[in-house]
């Protein structure tokens, strides 16, 4: 699905998404990544929801966001609180949703000027 352009194009904006990829400022990514408004997307070590570890969330914590939008793949799943305990201890919220909803939510929060991190799990077959 293509998304409409907004005046936020100087930031890392989700411009389209599919079942197994995401487009950020017209560049397609088909692997798990962490997206922040003001820096280039970085590959994320998470390869599947079932194999998430606390170390995966430590990579997100290092970006120091206020809130994390966690895209859990093609369906919404909820991560165990013990995996996000370090984030919660620093008062960093984590919201879990499917990748499509996560992309839309990230764009909204980013456009509002929020310090948001989008963490997308792109599961490979």
Q: What are the CA-CA distances from residue 26 to residues 16, 29, 49 (Å)?
A: 8, 10, 26
Question: What's the rounded Cα separation, in Å, for the pair 70 and 119?
Answer: 5
Beta bridge partners of 29: 22
C-beta of residue 94 within 8 angstroms of C-beta of residue 118: no
Among 18-22, 23-27, 108-112, where is mean pLDDT lowest?
Answer: 18-22
Q: Token match 């620093």: residue?
A: 90
pLDDT digits (tens, 9 = 90+) for 52-106: 999 999 999 999 999 999 999 999 999 999 999 999 999 999 999 999 999 999 9
> What's the N-to-C CA distance of the chain in angstroms?
21
pLDDT score of 123: 81
Q: Is the pLDDT of residue 25 over 80?
A: yes
State both tokens at 102.
């996560």
pTM of this prediction?
Answer: 0.90
């Amino acid at each position: 699905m293509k998304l409409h352009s907004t005046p936020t194009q100087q930031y890392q904006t989700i411009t389209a998404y599919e079942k197994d990829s995401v487009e950020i400022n017209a560049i397609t990514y088909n692997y798990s990544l962490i997206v922040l408004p003001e820096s280039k997307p970085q590959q994320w070590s998470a390869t599947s929801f079932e194999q998430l570890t606390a170390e995966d969330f430590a990579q997100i914590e290092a970006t120091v966001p206020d809130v994390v939008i966690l895209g859990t793949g093609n369906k919404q799943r909820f991560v165990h609180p013990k995996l996000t305990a370090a984030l919660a201890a620093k008062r960093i919220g984590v919201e879990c949703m499917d990748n499509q909803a996560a992309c839309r939510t990230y764009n909204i929060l980013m456009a509002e000027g929020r310090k948001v991190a989008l963490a997308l799990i792109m599961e490979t077959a």
